[in-house]
Amino acid sequence: MKAQGIEVLLVFDPANMNYLTGYDGWSFYVPQLIVVALAEPEPLWIGRGIDLNGARETTYVEDANLYAYSDRYVHHDHRHPMDFVAHILRERELDNARIGLDMDSYYFSARGYEVLRRQMPHASFIDVTRLVSGLRSIKSPQELEYMRQAGQIMQRVMKVALGNVEPGIRQCDAVGEIYRAQMRGTQAYGGDYPAIAPMLPTGRGTSTPHLTWTDKPFVREEACILELAAARYHYHCPMARTVFMGDPPKRLVDAAMIVADGVQAALDAVKPGATCEAIEAAWRSVTAPRGIVKESRIGYSMGLNYPPDWGEHTMSLRPGDRSVLEPGMTFHLIPGIWMDDWGVEISESFVVTADGYELLAPFPRKLFVKP
């Protein structure tokens, strides 16, 4: 905070709130935050009244530092929870300060920002987007353990998914089995809700990554892309695979082989000291000569998160990103290929190790075919 020139930090991102205090619950649909101040020995939690006991159950924040706003502030035309937040900051004499904000957080709105500025005219607001998310990049041994457990669950989930994507089975029924496997986890540990719902575009829909499902049955001679995740205490392991029901067209078989080779080339470039863009360059060196060219990034850092995204929004595997890999960083390497009316996704989640990489969920890296 000193390096960024701020005295007070307002943390709205649920993953960052969890990281700093343990706070957990599906309450982020109303404004809530953690306040970290150089002048305060402990953080404050500010949230909605009905979530106060949730803060008591899940955080270490002492009672004197828990502030709950009345329901009168919730979804109201003329009152906003940020009115209450400003009131608390004034009371704590934290309003006349250099205040850092994650200006690009989903759960801190433009209206909330305007209210804060109006209510605290002597504060100066500084965008410190990714300050806390950046701290989350390198995982502790305990965090890696959760992600490996998510990886174990993910392997089971993908097996269940591939078993249920069959001509004649309704997409929604396959998704029911996928969710069930995501939550049941293993005998030793259960699963949590991933930050993104199962994505499984089928047929023409495979030309784009973010479609979900319908209640129509799967159809022979169509592909289905499965982009799924498993989560353990909100720590993720995502994985994508593609399955074709029938006799796959040569362009899809070829693309899947090139993608798999590209993924291996990218992984082979992973080691401490390498840059994010070097990983992408390794992919490109293998795939571009064979005709697979891709504008969008081929991966991103991920780990602890809440909806709507499991990505950390810090590092991207793409040209121009010179972030340097360090042991304990975790990425989803997902070079999705989306053409006019078809596509293929084969991904890997990995940890950077002392001398290379560790896959979180080893699984056959190929186009699956159901004859």
Q: Footprint of its own copies on residues 85-104 (CB under 8 A)?
A: 101, 103-104
Q: Tell me which residues in 93-152 interact with its own copies (CB under 8 A).
A: 101, 103-114, 127, 129-130
Q: Give the one residue of 16, 18, 21, 27 binding its own copies; rule: CB under 8 A.
A: 27
Specify the residue for token string 């994985």. 239
What six digits make up the tokens of 220? 């022979």
Contact 14, 136 (CB under 8 A): no
170 in contact with its own copies (CB under 8 A): yes
Q: For the window 256-295, what string marks contact with its own copies as x by the rule CB under 8 A?
A: ---------------------------------------x
- Sorted by sequence, the CB contacts under 8 Å of residue 23 that are 6+ apart come out as 14, 17, 32, 34, 45, 54, 55, 58, 59, 61
Contact 10, 107 (CB under 8 A): no
Measured distance between the N- and C-terminal CA atoms of the chain, rounded to whole angstroms: 58
Q: Give the one residue of 39, 40, 42, 57 binding its own copies; rule: CB under 8 A.
A: 57
DSSP one-letter code for 320: T
3-state secondary structure of 77: coil
CB of 83 or CB of 358, closer to its own copies: 83
Q: Give the one residue of 134, 209, 327, 356 binding its own copies; rule: CB under 8 A.
A: 209
Q: How far apart are CA 60 and CA 44, in angstroms?
A: 10
59 in contact with its own copies (CB under 8 A): no
Q: How far apart are CA 153 and CA 174, in angstroms?
A: 17
Q: How far apart are CA 349 and CA 365, in angstroms?
A: 12
Q: Give the one residue of 1, 66, 134, 208 binding its own copies; rule: CB under 8 A.
A: 208
Contact 130, 314 (CB under 8 A): yes
* Contact region with its own copies (CB under 8 A), list: 38-46, 137-145, 161-169, 173-181: 173-181
State in angstroms the smallest separation of the CB of 144 from its own copies. Answer: 19
CB of 208 or CB of 353, closer to its own copies: 208
Q: Tell me which residues in 290-349 interact with its own copies (CB under 8 A).
A: 295-297, 300, 307-309, 311, 313-314, 316, 318, 320, 336, 338, 340-341
CB of 151 or CB of 362, closer to its own copies: 151
